[in-house]
Amino acid sequence: MQVIDLARENGLRIGAPLKESVLAQEFSVSRTPVRAALRYLTEIGAVKHIPQRGYFLDQEVTALPEIEVDAAETTVRSVYNQIVDAYFSGELSDRVSVAELMRRFDIDRQPLQEALSRLSAEGFMRPNPGYGWVFVPLKKSREADTEDMHRFRLVLEPALLLEPAFEADSGQIAMMRAKQVALIEKLGTDFDVAEVFEANEELHVNLTSYCGSRYFINALDFPTPSGRLDEYRHYQDRERIRQACEEHIAILDAVSAGEMQRASNLMREHILSAQPKND
């Protein structure tokens, strides 16, 4: 909506460039939501994307569509996050009723049920026959949950690189390597923590997809209850970001060279180095 409003207010013509960096500064956000908005506007025909050049307005401002916010979806996400935060802060017991959650969060039954369904699909909660919902047994802190997630990855990610059916996409490998190099170059200047998160997430997801085993892929295809917040906090340490990018490049180079045992060893070291340190 903001991109369209800006185009209208400035009387932009077809072909006018829509630069991520300029829009991010205008709206006081990172480039990640701007990029998502531009991709959506491309999908509905309001904007055109030209590879290596960027995004450009593709409709007269008088023909631009009205974009409505999905209030229901926003409500579901809000109560989802409230439940997660309340559980990790110890404000919720292991067993809760729908009525209790409706009162606590002042929420209607329908969006609450949708939020609970998502939490169930992610393995965070499960319906309890006869009485409400129960939380899957977890250590009661985001830090402990993040540590569990790292241990889980430590078992699986190095192993999937040794799968006989593992077949890397050389084009994607080169692209991901270039992104990691670019991130290192940007650390001192044009730093965007969301860009770091997305590039690193893309790398791990793609490497998983190359293994050819749906069991590995399904096992690692999960959003962690701790979410991006903990990752963003972790990414405030730019020296650690540099180290992680260098580790990623080494892994990609080993995969590209077909040195899978070395790639597996490097992945194990990478995950170990990223594990939270206990004080």
Residue 82: give its domain's CATH number. Answer: 1.10.10.10
Spatial contact of 145 and 139, defined as CB atoms under 8 Å apart: yes
Residue 49 pairs in a beta bridge with 55
Q: Which of 80, 108, 135 is the last residue of a domain?
A: 135
CATH label of the domain that carries residue 261: 1.20.120.530
**Residues 148 and 107 reside in one and the same domain:** no
Q: Per the domain annotation, does 90 fall within a domain? A: yes
Do 125 and 148 belong together in one domain? no
For 48, the 3-state DSSP assignment is strand
CB burial string 225-255: b at 16+ within 10 A, e below: bbeeebbeebbeeeeebeebbebbbbbbebb
Consecutive H or E run containing 165: none
Domain assignment present for 81: yes
Q: Would strands 95-96 and 54-57 be described as parallel, antiparallel, or unpaired?
A: unpaired
| pLDDT at position 258 over 90 | yes
Is residue 279, in this structure, part of any structural domain at all?
no
54 and 110 both lie in a single domain:
no
Question: Same domain for 171 and 258?
Answer: yes
Q: Could you say which of 31, 47, 63 is where a domain stops? A: 63
Q: Which of 88, 107, 135 is the last residue in one of the domains?
A: 135
Q: Which two tokens stand for residue 275?
A: 């594990």
In a domain, 189, yes or no: yes
pLDDT at 219 over 90: no
pLDDT in the model for residue 31: 72
User: Are the beta carbons of 4 and 64 closer than 8 angstroms?
Assistant: yes
Q: Averaged over 31-55, what is the pLDDT?
A: 83
Can you tell me the distance from the alpha carbon of 176 to that of 35, in angstroms, rounded to the nearest whole number? 18
Position 261 in a domain: yes
Q: Indicate whether 190 and 214 sit together in one domain.
A: yes
* pTM flag (> 0.85): no
Strands 125-127 and 54-57 come out as: unpaired
Shared domain check, 223 and 155: yes
The DSSP call for residue 51 is T
- Same domain assignment for residues 49 and 99: no
* Residue 232, pLDDT score: 45
- Does some domain include residue 156? yes
Look at residue 276 in the predicted model and tell me its pLDDT.
59
* pLDDT tens by residue, 127-174: 887 778 998 776 556 667 677 778 888 999 999 999 999 999 999 999
**76: containing domain:** 71-135
Report if residue 224 sits inside a domain.
yes
* pLDDT higher at 255 or 29: 255
Q: Supply the angle between the helices 109-121 and 71-88 in degrees, to the nearest 10.
A: 60
Judgement on whether residues 224 and 200 belong to the same structural domain of the protein: yes
Does 258 lie in the same domain as 164?
yes
What tens digit of pLDDT does each residue of 191-214 get?
Answer: 666 577 778 888 998 999 999 888
The token duo for 26 is: 């205008």
Handedness of CA 147, 152, 158, 161 (dihedral sign): negative
Rounded-to-integer distance, Cα 55 and Cα 16, Å: 9
- Collapsed DSSP state (helix, strand, coil) of residue 126: strand
Residues 157 and 263 in one domain: yes
Number of domains in the chain: 3
- Same structural domain, 7 and 124: no
Q: Which of 208, 113, 108, 215 is nearest to 167 (CA)?
A: 208
Residues 152 and 105 in one domain: no
